[in-house]
Homo-oligomer: A and B are copies of this chain.
Amino acid sequence: MNYSDLLKTLRDIVGAAHVLTDGDLSAYTRDWRKRAEGNALAVVRPADTEQVAAVVRACAKHGASIVPQGGNTGLAVGAVPDTSGSQVVLSLRRLDKVRAMDPANLTITVEAGCILQNLQTTAEAAGFLFPLSLAAEGSCTIGGNLGTNAGGTQVVRYGNARELCLGLEVVTAQGEIWNGLTGLRKDNTGYDLRDLFIGSEGTLGIITAATMKLYPLPAARLTAWAAVPSMQAAVDLLGLAHKHLGAGLTGFEVMNQFALSLVDKHLPQLRVPFWREYPWCVLVENSDHESEEHARTQFEGLLEAALEAGCVADAIVAESLAQASTLRHIRESIPMAQAEEGLNIKQDISVPISRIPAFVEETDAALMREIPGVRLVDFGHLGDGNLHYNVQTPEGGDAREFLLKYEDRINTVVFDSVAKHEGSISAEHGIGSLKVEKLPDYKSPVALNMMHAIKKALDPDSIMNPGRVLSTRI
């Protein structure tokens, strides 16, 4: 490969100021959790879709592979270059415009580099809700959200990033531009290319813009906090919540006692309710299109039925929207409290909701058998069957040593249990390079073969984010 020719061409396309090769590039080459640091041939920052297409054509011509990158907040190490120094990081951050809003069609068209939070606030200023919401929303981009099919806290009602997207603009591996930016809710004119690119983690092409769904802003977002005697009770409560709140149910998060004890220990000012007395707490969110009062009445009906059914031991309904937000904040603080406690092993698994109680019971037991004293931070989006089933070092243990010794074994125990319960080893974070070598152990070979065939069909020279999602070793 003639690097200097390629670099010259890239400078011609995007301007020399936007081809970064020197200085500290770690913001682009190191992943967010600092699990991996690569070397880039260059970081290229195109200004628009045409420039993205030209960059892809140039890289294709020179045989350089491309790592598309949004906010670089991914959790599966899928958006940083490898260590070869031969890959081009293509940052979409400068494509950050809101191209159009169509209130009567309930859609907004944005470029890939638009920060999720900007999208949320733009929608809200116009009286609409863009419901995708997750911890990194202040720095992740909608292109990255779509590339990884991000989930988050509102999936129980609104679905993942995929379900919120109506149309895409994509630069193909050949450097062509596909304008599929439809604002249509029904379009049956051929194969679903949109959903093929969503969640493909930049391995088939580069998402440069998207048309996303909007919803009317709810009148009130109220929360309730309930102590439940068991995980099965939490599942039962979820069923009641679906019945009593209908589509108002926009969040259903479960947290175990140890997770909440860490919040209490490291963030005592948050005053976690009920955590000392009960093994599990649940945060329920009701987004009501009528009023805060109506939301409260709905919650009262739910909690009355739940107390009667024995699936709730104690509960409070937020007395104000401010208190509702405080309760949400407790849930959102678990990862930070965990980090304060020390290094840990993060999981992102899902199983059918009905199997969550058995999954947790069996996996807890298996891990405690293997590693005496291990501490389990179980929390997550029970409404979607998605747990962040995280593992913390035994009290007082050396975390680095623990990870080195046990990480692989712990992953195997958890993943095998997930497989037994017909679940997924990556619910919302994706495969990236983090789980790429594990995937063949847990995915149907028929599905894997089809994935490889599609990769070959759309990116025959494998220049798009090679080694991510699909192992190149097979």
Contacts and interface: CB of A to CB of B under 8 A. Distances in A.
A93 interface: no
Q: How many copies does the complex hold?
A: 2
> Which of A245, A350, A469 has the most chain B CB atoms inside 10 A of its CB?
A350
Q: How many interface residues does chain A have, given as a range?
A: 35 or more
A104 B446 contact: no
Given A289-B243, A450-B193, A188 B426 contact: yes
Interface string A178-203: 11101111111111110110111000
Given A216-B242, A446-B176, A454-B457, A192 B199 contact: yes
A70 to B, nearest CB: 16
Contacts of A289: 243-247
Interface stretch (A35-43, A135-143, A147-155, A327-335): A147-155
Given A185-B386, A242-B216, A423-B184, A457 B447 contact: no
Contacts of A353: 104-106
Interface of A: 102-107, 148-149, 151, 155-157, 159-160, 162-163, 172, 176-180, 182-193, 195-196, 198-200, 204, 215-216, 218, 235-236, 238-239, 242-248, 288-290, 350-355, 381, 384-386, 422-431, 435, 439, 442-444, 446-448, 450-451, 453-458, 469-470
Given A105-B385, A149-B192, A191-B200, 16 more contacts: A103-B354, A104-B239, A149-B188, A151-B188, A162-B192, A178-B450, A180-B444, A184-B427, A186-B427, A187-B350, A188-B428, A189-B435, A191-B199, A191-B469, A193-B451, A247-B247
14 contacts: A103-B239, A106-B242, A159-B185, A184-B423, A186-B350, A186-B381, A189-B424, A189-B442, A190-B431, A190-B470, A191-B455, A193-B450, A196-B454, A454-B457
